[in-house]
């Protein structure tokens, strides 16, 4: 009995020992695995935090990308603004762009070229003003003058047969019209205290003042300039009766009354003026007159009682006279005895404006203390390039 119980108990002890070891080993493994899992989770969290911090550091100094295009004018604009405000020209003298020296300089006494953005703003204002420039042919040149070649040759023509002869072309008859360029200048001034104010848009202010001065000077010269150190205005050329017109002169049509429209059928002279111009020019023709003359013309009616004048239907669209656009240019003469108060023609063919594309500015802080003067200049010229493309209305009996 004892032997049997002892054996049984001994057998139970033997079987319990391995089970306890397995349980203990499993518990140890699970504990180690949990520690390993916790450690890995902690490392992953740390790694994620580090990546987040790196992303923030790399993103913070950046700015939203507004354009993928490179603004090559930005260095010039920044250097030019610094020159205007403080006279610091180091940036302009040492400016390089795309590996090449940027042409921002002229001679020591001539100042520096205006930055492209300011220059474009000035040109935009000049084109938008009521000046002949808006309807003339405008060309950019690098030389000191611009030559227009006009061929008057009448080419031989006719009906030809296979064996018949063809009329030969005559000797070329070419006129050369040379348009010299002249210096147009403006000199706005500002106080140094105003220039030191960072909120003051010095480039915009300068562009506005230059454009205002240039536009008024150009508008007058293109119409009545004498060609001496300024463009030759089209009204400064000799005018002859359109019936005896010849190249080198402008043809005119008389109103039939001294210093006024004719008392009877006043609009007839306007009609005569339109049809004095050849058909090849009428398609692109424009009337040019000042406000006083426009006030008189817009009251005119045809034989059926309809007004000859009609206002533009859309914003910015010019008024029309007999279906042709009207440019109101205040530098045209008033209605007076023998005055050429109205012009009509294709001015894109008839008048050419030649200019250098660059403008320059010289900063002068000494001549008008405590103000700073800005001497702005450009080179521009103008003259009639086709004498057959422009006709005048003369307020005279003949």
| 314 within domain boundaries | yes
Are the CB atoms for 139 and 353 separated by under 8 Å?
yes
CA–CA dist 243, 397 (Å, integer): 15
CA–CA dist 304, 302 (Å, integer): 5
**Ranges assigned E (strand) in the chain:** 96-97, 100-101, 112-113, 137-140, 145-151, 174-180, 182-186, 189-191, 239-241, 250-254, 286-289, 309-310, 320-321, 324-328, 340-345, 351-355, 360-364, 371-384, 390-394
pLDDT on residue 99: 36
pLDDT on residue 200: 74
3-state SS, residue 11 = helix
pLDDT band per the 50, 70, 90 thresholds, residue 368: confident
Mean pLDDT of all residues belonging to the chain: 79
pLDDT on residue 75: 58
Are the CB atoms for 378 and 215 separated by under 8 Å?
no
pLDDT on residue 36: 76
| 214 within domain boundaries | no
| 346 within domain boundaries | yes
Read off the pLDDT of residues 62-99 as tens digits, 9 standing for 90 and up: 445 444 444 445 555 666 666 666 565 655 555 544 33
| 195 within domain boundaries | no
Are the CB atoms for 209 and 186 separated by under 8 Å?
yes
pLDDT band per the 50, 70, 90 thresholds, residue 112: low
What DSSP line would sit under 217-247, residue for residue? HHHHHHHH-BSSSSPBPGGGS-EEEGGG--T
pLDDT band per the 50, 70, 90 thresholds, residue 1: very low
pLDDT on residue 157: 60
| 286 within domain boundaries | yes
| 246 within domain boundaries | yes
Mean pLDDT for the stretch of residues 164-180: 74
pLDDT on residue 191: 82
Mean pLDDT for the stretch of residues 274-292: 95
CA–CA dist 251, 253 (Å, integer): 7
Read off the pLDDT of residues 173-224 as tens digits, 9 standing for 90 and up: 778 899 999 999 888 888 888 887 767 777 788 888 888 888 899 999 999 9
Does pLDDT of 364 surpass 60?
A: yes
The one-character DSSP state at 284 is T
Q: With pLDDT > 90 as the criterion, what percentage of the chain qualifies?
A: 37
CATH number for the domain including 334?
3.30.2320
| 302 within domain boundaries | yes
pLDDT on residue 104: 43
What DSSP line would sit under 334-384, residue for residue? PS-TT-EEEEEE-HHHHEEEEE-S--EEEEESSTTTTEEEEEEEEEEEEEE
Question: Which residue reads 């506005």 in tokens?
Answer: 208
Mean pLDDT for the stretch of residues 123-132: 76
| 347 within domain boundaries | yes
Number of compact structural domains in the chain: 1
Higher pLDDT, 114 or 228: 228
Token code pair at residue 376? 């702005």
Are the CB atoms for 319 and 312 separated by under 8 Å?
yes
CA–CA dist 92, 113 (Å, integer): 9
Are the CB atoms for 242 and 249 separated by under 8 Å?
no
State which residues form the domain around 283: 234-352+385-394
pLDDT on residue 70: 44
């Amino acid at each position: 009995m004892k032997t049997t119980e002892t054996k049984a108990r001994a057998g139970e002890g033997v079987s319990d020992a391995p089970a306890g070891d397995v349980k203990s080993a499993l518990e140890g493994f699970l504990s180690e695995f949990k520690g390993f899992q916790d450690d890995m989770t902690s490392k992953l969290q740390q790694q994620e935090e580090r990546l987040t911090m790196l992303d923030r550091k790399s993103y913070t100094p950046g700015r939203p990308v507004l354009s993928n295009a490179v603004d090559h004018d930005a260095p010039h604009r920044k250097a030019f603004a610094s020159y205007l405000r403080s006279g610091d020209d180091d940036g302009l003298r040492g400016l390089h762009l795309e590996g090449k020296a940027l042409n921002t300089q002229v001679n020591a006494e001539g100042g520096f070229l205006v930055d492209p953005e300011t220059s474009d703003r000035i040109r935009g204002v000049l084109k938008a003003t009521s000046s002949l420039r808006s309807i003339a042919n405008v060309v950019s040149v690098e030389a000191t003058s611009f030559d227009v070649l006009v061929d008057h040759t009448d080419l031989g023509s006719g009906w030809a047969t296979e064996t018949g002869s063809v009329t030969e072309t005559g000797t070329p008859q070419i006129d050369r019209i040379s348009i010299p360029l002249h210096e147009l200048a403006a000199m706005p001034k500002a106080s140094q205290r105003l220039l030191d104010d960072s909120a003051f848009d010095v480039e915009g202010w300068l562009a506005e003042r230059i454009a205002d001065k240039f536009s008024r000077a150009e508008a007058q010269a293109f119409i009545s300039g004498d060609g001496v150190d300024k463009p030759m205005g089209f009204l400064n050329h000799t005018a002859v009766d359109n019936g005896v017109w010849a190249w080198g002169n402008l043809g005119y049509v008389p109103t039939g009354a001294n210093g006024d429209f004719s008392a009877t059928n006043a609009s007839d002279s306007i009609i005569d003026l339109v049809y004095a111009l050849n058909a090849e020019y009428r398609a692109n023709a424009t009337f040019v007159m000042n406000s006083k003359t426009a006030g008189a013309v817009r009251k005119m009616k045809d034989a059926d009682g309809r007004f000859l004048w009609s206002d533009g239907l859309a914003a910015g669209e010019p008024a029309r006279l007999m279906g042709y656009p009207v440019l109101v240019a205040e530098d045209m003469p008033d209605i007076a005895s023998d005055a050429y108060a109205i012009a009509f023609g294709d001015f894109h063919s008839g008048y050419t404006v030649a200019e250098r594309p660059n403008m320059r500015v010289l900063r002068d802080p000494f001549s008008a203390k405590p103000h700073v003067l800005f001497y702005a200049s450009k080179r521009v010229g103008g003259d009639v390039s086709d004498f057959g493309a422009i006709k005048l209305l003369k307020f005279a009996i003949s």
